[in-house]
Amino acid sequence: MSQMTGLSRRTVLTGLGGLGVAAAISQGFVGWSHAAAPLDDAELEELRQKWIDLITGRDVIDPAEEVFRAPLADLDETVDELLELLVPGEDRTQVFSDQTLDRDGTVSGGYTRIASMARAWSTPGSRHHESEDVLAGALAGLVDMHRLVYFAGQTEFGNWWSWEIGASRALADCMAMLRDHIEDDDLADYSAAIDHFVPDPWKQFQPPREVVTSTGANRVDLCQAVIVRSIVTGDLDRLHHAVEGLSDTWQYVTSGDGFFRDGSFVQHSTLGYTGTYGVVLLGGLSKLFALLADSAHDIDDPSRSIIDDAVEDSYAPLMYRGQMMDAVRGRAISREGSRSMIDASAAIDAILRLAKAVDEERAL
């Protein structure tokens, strides 16, 4: 898989995009426990555009400002590399020349690459902003990824995460960013593929593996894929179900996965994972809170205050001088591209986004 150089730059770009949108979030919240709320086409379109703002930062980026130049250059360099790797021809058996589609990692990785192309195409200040070549490459990539490997009826191979989370989230993001250029039949096919691999975001795994209840960061990731897919396609029932599934992720637990009253966060049943899974959960929730704020699906579960408490009780004690303690980063400490400062930066990004939704005294 092509490496995106300059991890800190990438983190800055992501963080700035999220913070820009968070700055516009209202302080108030409307009902939480309710039936599937009606949304008209204009409201769904507003949510789609809001999600694009969140994942690109396009509403705050000023290419003339120094802080944006390096992240934009990094994004452009990544997409330059991806354009070189695209396999030409309508009958190709893989989308990128260095990624055969016989491994689960290249399935999710392929969609992640296409999402990078779509992000550059959607981002003002990128050399690839509204590029016809990038748009054509991304659209053709989506068509062929679906034709070759990611479709309704396909059997998962390798790691479940690649199919149910990695690919589904990236595909949903592509659907949001490129919706105006995706044919309706293709959009229906992509939605059916996500629905096949994530029929219910409250669950994970597919037969013959035993289906289990999804928890923690995995639940947030699965719900995110379904929420974005449902906004793009106007599926209000699936949207409502996915939003309702978020509340379980921040309830206090006494065993297993989740937040404990002593400040611990556990994933994989017994492992302290605040620094990786916990950061993914916090980042996902902060984006979804920002996305849904002031909409008919705004989240007003009173127990949401647990997340605010977790900032001080679970995350802050484990960060020091801009780094996340390795003791709670699990297997991530063995990954070349995973650094303690990256996890801490992601946590800070999420915390600052959450701060926009609380009163000033609590935020400070």
Note if the bond before 201 is cis, omega within 30 degrees.
Answer: no
Judge whether 152 and 99 are in contact, CB under 8 Å: no
Judge whether 146 and 190 are in contact, CB under 8 Å: yes
**CA triple 81-119-293, angle to 5 deg:** 155
In this structure, the strands spanning 258-259 and 271-272 are unpaired
Alpha helices in 59-182 (DSSP H): 66-85, 104-122, 132-148, 160-161, 167-178
Cβ-count burial of 327 within 10 angstroms (0-12 exposed, 13-18 middle, 19+ buried)? Answer: exposed
Alpha helices in 166-215 (DSSP H): 167-178, 184-197
Q: Write out the two tokens for 336.
A: 């070349």
Annotated catalytic residues are: 268, 277, 331
Nearest Cα neighbor of 14 from 115, 84, 107 is 115
Numbers of helices and strands, H then E, in the chain: 14, 7
- 3-class SS shares of the chain: helix, strand, coil, % to 5: 60, 5, 35
Backbone phi and psi for residue 109, each to the nearest 5 degrees, phi listed first: -65, -35
CA dihedral (204, 205, 206, 212) in degrees, to 10, reads -70
DSSP element (H, E) containing 41: helix 41-56
Judge whether 253 and 227 are in contact, CB under 8 Å: no
User: Rounded to an integer, what distance in angstroms lies between the CA atom of residue 349 and that of residue 353?
Assistant: 6
Nearest Cα neighbor of 44 from 199, 215, 238, 197 is 238
